Chain A
Amino acid sequence: MLKLTPLDRGISLSDMNIRPGQFVQVKTPDNATFLRRPISICNIDFFSNQLWILVRDAGNGSRAIMNSPVNSKLNIILPLGNGFAVDKSGPSPILIGGGVGVAPLLMLGAELKERGIQPTFLIGARNKEAILLEKELSAYGPVFVSTDDGSYGSIGLVTQNPVLDNNFSSIYCCGPLPMMKAVAKIASAKSLFCEVSLENVMGCGIGACLCCVEKTTEGNLCVCKEGPVFNINKLLWHN
């Protein structure tokens, strides 16, 4: 987890109207990569004016960002993308995250709690070591865990977790594509409001290059600008 503060003390993150599910574009230190790397906003600590991003080692770019020394500078563009539709949650949403995909659920949970809604969290990973943010999320609601190897929580995929037998008013999901597709199927079967956060490979991050498109009911849309959060009804996953 990296906690970032604006270099210019006059900049207040609370003035930026940052929404859960939005992301930042990070220029990788020492030009480790040619393009910037998009990373989900995990949380905004308004009190300390800190932006939190959770970075997983997925290649040269993320490694260079993770290894930034304390007090070093990062060049980032924010906030980007649309964010989750928080006002559509209903009274009992479940927030499902896989691996590093739990990151945006922390800010989403905080925002829901602020609106008087207690979310349920369901997070999954390969094993116990890969479970992230369990303690932080538990400040906003109960947290259920699944691990592939059963080393912690329920054994198996998040979609096999018994907590899903309960009734929920909506689903918000961020994680690997197969997980999100499986979650979308469950949501469709139960006719629940469901949003997922996609991570198609991006160029610019601002809707200019048209590289990160996803096929939708409205044609090819940029994940960076029209997303990264999409209502599953807009996606063509069932085809």
Chain B
Amino acid sequence: MAQLGVTIGNLQLSNPVLTASGTFGYGEEFSDFIDLDRLGGFIVKGTTLEPRQGNDYPRMVETPSGMLNAVGLQNKGVDYFIENIYPRLIKYSSEIIVNISGSSVDDYYKVAEKLNTLPRINAIEVNISCPNVKTGGMAFGTTTSGAASVTKAVREAFDKTVIVKLSPNVTDITEIARAVENEGADAVSLINTLMGMAIDVERQRPYLSTYTGGLSGAAVRPVAVRMVWQVHKAVNIPIIGLGGIMNGRDALEFILAGATAIEVGTANFINPAATVEIVKYIDDYCRRHNVNDINQLIGII
């Protein structure tokens, strides 16, 4: 077996394969299909200070090679996570990363501060790029000042690894990446969903209750690979690449473009075992290409 371990901030991952927030529940939903301990780690559902009911149904529509969603961060809040979900997750040995979101800088600070007390949570992923909530979310991720202010607050509240998840819905993603790097982010993950829209022409109505939603799936992959490649040239912190990774080949595209680790998202819905198949593919790939350490492949394009 090739050396597949990678480092993100202070996180030592046994392999570069993570799961994308919002596509993997709390991990447990997938335990019938895969051994969660074979993942580098898993990133659980977006968590906010207060419980959120999310948006009205319909929240999802399939589109060519992808899907639009407008879930709107439905979750039971950070306190519920700490009391009821965290105790169930600590039996897994792979890293558990919590994705956090808020509608004010203070929200982000408070959620990060609460999670900082949990010994098994060694990293948080800060969502400044959700296109499906009215306040906050993407608003912070589309300006350098907004992204910087959230990163600064979370950096103060959380002693361990801080990953900032970037929005692709910007003119120049590299300037946002540099802004969060300057405020002390340990890593960036990209891309979140691309804002999109689909219309039912027979009924002359949008498919989603919110009209617009976030596009994910294979359709977004070339955009994501391009952005990872651009950001890799612009910052010195590690990049976690995601966006339409359906299999091991796709994962390697991101690694070659500059990603130290990758997240598997929408593919989990179609193949609940996609993650572990990707780990195996990467190992086989390294052997085929006489690579004894995955780190030798990162960003060679």
Chain A residues within 8 Å of B, Cβ to Cβ: 27, 33-36, 77, 200-215, 219-220, 225
A-B contact pairs, 10 of them (CB 8 A): A34-B270, A77-B272, A200-B57, A203-B269, A204-B268, A207-B29, A208-B23, A208-B24, A209-B22, A209-B23
Known A200-B57, A214-B57; contact A206-B272, beta-carbon cutoff 8 A: yes
Q: Across the interface, do B62 and A35 meet the contact criterion of CB distance under 8 Å? A: yes
Q: Across the interface, do A34 and B66 meet the contact criterion of CB distance under 8 Å? A: yes
Min CB distance A239 to B, Å, is 13
Min CB distance A213 to B, Å, is 6
Q: Across the interface, do B67 and A203 meet the contact criterion of CB distance under 8 Å? A: yes
Q: Across the interface, do B23 and A34 meet the contact criterion of CB distance under 8 Å? A: no
Q: Across the interface, do A36 and B54 meet the contact criterion of CB distance under 8 Å? A: no
Residues of B within 8 A of A33 (CB): 62
Residues of B within 8 A of A213 (CB): 54, 57, 59, 74
In the assembly, what is the distance between CA of A208 and CA of B297, in Å?
Answer: 32
Residues of B within 8 A of A27 (CB): 270
**Best-buried of B45, B61, B66, B74 by chain A (most CB within 10 Å):** B74
In the assembly, what is the distance between CA of A35 and CA of B265, in Å?
Answer: 13
Tell me the chain B residues, 57-79 only, with Cβ under 8 Å from chain A: 57-67, 69, 71, 74
Residues of B within 8 A of A204 (CB): 23, 29, 268-269, 272
Give A213's nearest chain B residue, CB to CB. Answer: B57
The DSSP consensus for interface residues of chain A is: loop
Q: Across the interface, do A208 and B29 meet the contact criterion of CB distance under 8 Å? A: yes
Q: Is B30 an interface residue (CB 8 A)?
A: yes
Interface footprint category on B? 20 to 34
Residues of B within 8 A of A36 (CB): 269-270
Contact of A211 among B69, B268, B270 (CB under 8 A): B69
Q: Across the interface, do B269 and A207 meet the contact criterion of CB distance under 8 Å? A: no
Q: Across the interface, do B269 and A212 meet the contact criterion of CB distance under 8 Å? A: no
Min CB distance B259 to A, Å, is 23
Chain B residues within 8 Å of A, Cβ to Cβ: 22-25, 29-30, 45, 53-54, 56-67, 69, 71, 74, 217-218, 268-270, 272
Q: Across the interface, do B53 and A34 meet the contact criterion of CB distance under 8 Å? A: no
Give B26's nearest chain A residue, CB to CB. Answer: A208
**Best-buried of A33, A200, A202, A210 by chain B (most CB within 10 Å):** A210
Q: Across the interface, do A209 and B269 meet the contact criterion of CB distance under 8 Å? A: yes
Residues of A within 8 A of B29 (CB): 204, 206-208, 225
Min CB distance A11 to B, Å, is 15
Min CB distance A125 to B, Å, is 22
In the assembly, what is the distance between CA of A35 and CA of B219, in Å?
Answer: 13
Can you list the 6 inter-chain pairs with the closest CB atoms, starting with the nearest? A211-B60, A208-B25, A204-B269, A208-B29, A210-B71, A211-B59
**Best-buried of B25, B63, B217 by chain A (most CB within 10 Å):** B25
Residues of A within 8 A of B45 (CB): 210
Known A203-B269, A204-B268, A219-B53; contact A34-B74, beta-carbon cutoff 8 A: no
Residues of A within 8 A of B268 (CB): 204, 208
Residues of B within 8 A of A35 (CB): 62, 67, 269-270
Give B25's nearest chain A residue, CB to CB. Answer: A208
